[in-house]
Each structure stands twice: as structure tokens, then as C-alpha cells.
Amino acid sequence: MTFLTRTMRTRWAASLLLIAPLFAFLLVFYFYPIASFLLRSASTSEITNTIPATSIALGQWDGEGLPDEPVYAALVSDLNASAQAAAILGRRLNALEPGMRTVVRKATAAARELTLATPAEAKAKLIEADEKWGAPATWKLLRHETRVATSTFLLAAVDVQRKADKLELKTGNDALFLPIFLRTLAISFTVTLICIIIGYPVAWVIAMATPRTASWLMLLVLVPFWLSILARTAAWIIVLQGNGPVNSLLMWAGLADAPLQLVFNRFGVILVMVHVMLPFLVLPLCNSIRAIPKSYFQAAANLGAPPVRAFMHVIFPLTVPGMWAGGFIVFILSIGYYITPALVGGPNDQMISSFIAFYTNQSINWSLSSALSAWLLGGMLALVMLSQRVIGPMIRRVT
């Protein structure tokens, strides 16, 4: 008995030892970077790092009226400590409240003259530099953004802003991100639907073919799957461009008088995404069609069901789980898609990933790109949970 438990334990330990290097690698170079990036969405460190003393001093302020003089003195010493930090502070606050960049710049200029000033002088001079330093709202904003955590960016990522302590949903032209999230869902849904419709006959033909033919047909599906997405996109741009073969064909056949715009718009994005995603649908669907016992087809036919009815009532329901599985993968992968919209989409076809990239590279606001990522990943996670909790049992009941 002890011998057995000991061998079990060594077997267990050896397995863990084999797994450990990869898991440790992923932990350090994959999971940790992503986790710390996502935490950035709620972090205030970008601001507290620029004004450390002020942040601490504000922590003791009760939020009524104006803060005490030492807080002003702390701000003066923080602003004098680093011009770069002061510039960052201005940029960050400006993103929250337009105009704050100037307010901070004026304070920075004033602070330079106040290195030896008393706290009372500091307060008076800062308010003189810009009257906003005498407004409780400015200090409330600062206090809010120097707490342990902030919800500002997570809310901003879904178009909710805080106005005078109230949460407000931005609508109409002010709405920035919710329309993008909706567009992302709409494009992903369309791609999934088209993949199911055109992938079904392919999966069916592969599943019904002899094993030899099936493995070659499957190869035809798999090859595009592993081909460079860039190479495929380049091919599609040539095929769909104004003087490309598709337009020539349409005009030759008299279906179009002038070249149609087929690429660099929504049509192009959806077409190329379907081309990329189709294999993900065909594989699981094909497996679920293959799993249907051949006798079912015969039984349905022997009982006199016409082929179409046999298919609708007997066969089709059995392929629903495979369809769900494939459609789900296509949908999930489409939601996070970046490359295709970037290359064959117009400005109005960019999905949420493009905005995460934009706020990282162009408009350097990592907190916002982190908040958008958090919503995107959170949404995907919720979908995965939902598919297991709800869709799984539902499929089992249907079939």
C-alpha cells in the first residue's frame, strides 16, 4: 500500500515537473503581462506617480470645500519635482476634464516661483494662477483619481461618464465605444451566420465521402486555415479591386455598369473574415455529421420519410451541437479580430480591437485601452460560461 501510494506520488510529481516549465513560462510571459495590463484599467498609479505627496495629502481631506493649505504645498513640491511628471498629469487630467492641461500648466509655472513659499502663500498663488485651483470640483476630481482604484476608465469604455457625482450614459454623437461594441457583435454575428450557411454543405459532403476522398477534401479546408492571413488578404484585394477579375466578370455579364466597390468596406471585411473563419466551423460540424450512425439515414428512409423531411427531423437536430460548437468558435474568434478590418475595412468597419490598438499606439491612453480590453475579454468569458451553462443543456434537450 505504501509502495503504491509512493509510486502514485512520484508519478504525479514527475508529471507536474514535466508540465512546470511551460506553465511557468506562460505565467511569466503571458498571464502576468495580461493580468497586470487589465488591472491598469482600474489603477490610479499613472496619476499618483506624478503627484505622490499630493495624493497622500488628499487622502486625509474630507472632500468638503477646499483642501487645507498643506495640500497646496504638496502640489507645489510635486510639480517642481519633475517637469515631465507635471506634463503627464496635465495630459491625464485633460482626458478626464477638457481644459485641465492648461490649468496644470499654469500651476506648474506658478510653482517654479514658490519653492520657498509657505503653505498659505502656495494656496493663494495657485488660486491666483488659475481660479480652477480655488474650485472644489477640481480637487474632488484629483481626489477621485488618486484613490486606490478608479472606475473612470472602465465606465468610459462603455460610454458612461461621471458628471457632478452622477453617472450619465453618453448618447447620440457623444457615444464613442458602445456603437463600436455593437458593430463588433454585428460583424461577428454576420460572419458566423454566413459560415454556418456555406459551411454546412461542405461539412456534409466531407462527412459523406469515402475516407480517402474525405481526407483530401479536408486538406482543402485545412490548407487555407494555415496560410498566412496577410497573403490571403493580398489575394482578396487583387480579386475584389475595381479592375479585378470579379468586377470584370460582373461587367462582362452585364450585372454592373461600372466597377463596384467590393473592398475597403463592410462587404470586404465580412467576405475576407468568412474566408478566414470557415475552417473553424467545418471541422466540428463535419465531426458531428460523421458521428451520426449510418443506420439512422436508412431507418428514416425505410419508414417512408422523404429525404428532405428525414433530414429536417432526424439528421439536422443531431448536427446542431456541432453547428453550435463551430459557430461559437467562429463568433468568439471574430469578436477579437484585428487584421482583416485593418487591411480591407474603411474607417466605419473597424472593430473593438482596432481601438485597443489605437489607444495603445496613437493616442497613448493605456488605461483606456486596458478598460476596453477588460470589457472585451470579460464579454468573451461570459459567453464561454453561458455556452456551457445554458447552451450545453439546451442542445442536450433539443437533441
| Binding to other proteins, residues 45-64 (CB under 8 A) | none
Q: Which stretch in 46-54, 94-102, 152-160, 353-361 sits in contact with other proteins by CB under 8 A? A: 353-361
Spatial separation of the C-alpha atoms in residues 153 and 161, rounded to whole Å: 9
Q: Of 177-236, which residues contact other proteins (CB under 8 A)?
A: 198-199, 201-202, 204-205, 215, 217, 219-224, 226-236
What's the CA angle centered on 108, arms 103 and 109, to 5 degrees? Answer: 100
**Cβ 42 vs Cβ 150: under 8 Å:** yes
Contact 148, 44 (CB under 8 A): yes
Kindly indicate which of the ranges 122-130, 154-162, 164-172, 360-368 contains the residues binding other proteins, using the contact rule CB under 8 A.
360-368
Which residues, other chains included, contact 355 with Cβ-Cβ below 8 Å and sequence gap of 6+? 177, 180, 369, 372
Report the nearest approach of other proteins to the CB of residue 265 (Å): 16
39 touches other proteins (CB under 8 A): no
C-alpha cell at 227: 496560410
C-alpha grid cell for residue 302? 425505410
Q: Hey, which bits of the chain come out as E strands?
A: 160-163, 166-169
Per CB under 8 A, the segment of 49-57, 102-110, 114-122, 334-342 that binds other proteins is: 334-342
Q: Which residue has the cell 503627464?
A: 88
The smaller minimum CB distance to other proteins, of residues 112 and 309, is found at 309
Distance CA 270, CA 197 (A): 14
Looking at residues 292 to 311 of the shown chain, list those that interact with other proteins (rule: CB under 8 A): 306-308, 311
245 scored as a contact of other proteins (CB under 8 A): yes
Nearer residue to other proteins within complex by CB, 3 or 226 = 226
**Residue from the set 117, 335, 368, 371 that interacts with other proteins by CB under 8 A:** 335
Residues 276-295 that bind other proteins (CB under 8 A): 278
Q: What is the grid cell recorded at 4?
A: 503504491
Q: How far is the CB of 170 from other proteins (least distance, A)?
A: 24
- Nearer to other proteins among residue 116 and residue 303 (C-beta): 303
* Burial (0-12, 13-18, 19+ Cβ within 10 Å), 381: exposed
Size of the site for other proteins (CB under 8 A): 82
Comparing CB distances to other proteins, the nearer of 139 and 331 is 331
For the chain, the first-to-last Cα distance in angstroms comes to: 46
- DSSP string spanning 321-335? HHHHHHHHHHHHHHH
* Shortest separation between residue 29's beta carbon and other proteins, angstroms: 5
> Which C-beta is closer to other proteins: that of 84 or that of 173?
84
Supply the minimum distance, in Å, between the C-beta of residue 58 and other proteins. Answer: 27
**In terms of Cα–Cα distance, which of 355, 335, 320 is closest to 190?**
335
**Do the Cβ atoms of 194 and 282 come closer than 8 Å?**
no
Of the candidate residues 70, 119, 134, 336, the single one contacting other proteins (CB under 8 A): 336
Site for other proteins in 136-155 (CB under 8 A): none
Query: 364-383: which residues touch other proteins (CB under 8 A)?
Result: 366, 369, 373, 376-377, 380
Question: Given the complex with other proteins, which of 191 and 278 has the nearer CB atom?
Answer: 278
Instruction: Give yes or no for residue 22 binding other proteins (CB under 8 A).
Output: yes
One character per residue 256-275, x = contact with other proteins (rule: CB under 8 A): -------------------x
Position among 353, 365, 367, 371 found at the interface with other proteins (CB under 8 A):
353
Phi, then psi, of 293 in degrees rounded to 5: -60, 135
CA distance 386 to 17: 34
347 binds other proteins per the rule CB under 8 A: no
The dihedral over CA atoms of 144, 356, 170, 40, expressed in degrees to the nearest 10, equals -20
CA distance 80 to 153: 28
Residue number with CB closer to other proteins (81 or 332): 332
Q: Give 61 or 366: the residue with its C-beta nearer to other proteins.
A: 366
Q: Does 312 bind other proteins (CB under 8 A)?
A: no
Choose between 32 and 296: whose C-beta lies nearer to other proteins.
32
Q: How big is the chain, counted in residues? A: 399
